[in-house]
Amino acid sequence: MEQPGKSKALSPGINGSTLEGTTYLSWITGTSAIYDIFWPWKWMYAMNYRPNECPGSLPKRVAYTNPYLFTFLSPPDVRLNVLILDR
């Protein structure tokens, strides 16, 4: 993810990218667009919206306006510990 104070991006949101095998994903958080951020080998998913698979009555498939808010999903038999580093 770009650092907003040092970015030359003139559009709203925070741009970022991830590499999944040979697939390059480019995304923007903090806007109304929904993006899948990454899904390594389909055992963990990250996205900037609340997907249909999440229980509860909160809105689904609507992008988060907070650019640092993400949803993480995994299959029921996978336990996740997510560590996000800023280098």
Say yes or no to pLDDT of 47 above 70.
Answer: yes
Cα distance between residue 44 and residue 73, in whole Å: 6
Cα–Cα separations (whole angstroms), residue 3 to 6, 7, 9, 13, 83? 6, 6, 10, 11, 19
Q: What is the DSSP string of 30-74?
A: SSS---EEE-GGGS-EEESB--TTS-SSS--S-B-SSTT--EEE-
Q: Which amino acid is at 72?
A: F
Say yes or no to pLDDT of 63 above 70.
Answer: yes
Cα distance between residue 53 and residue 66, in whole Å: 21
pLDDT at 9: 66
Query: pTM of the entire structure?
Result: 0.81
Mean pLDDT of the chain: 87
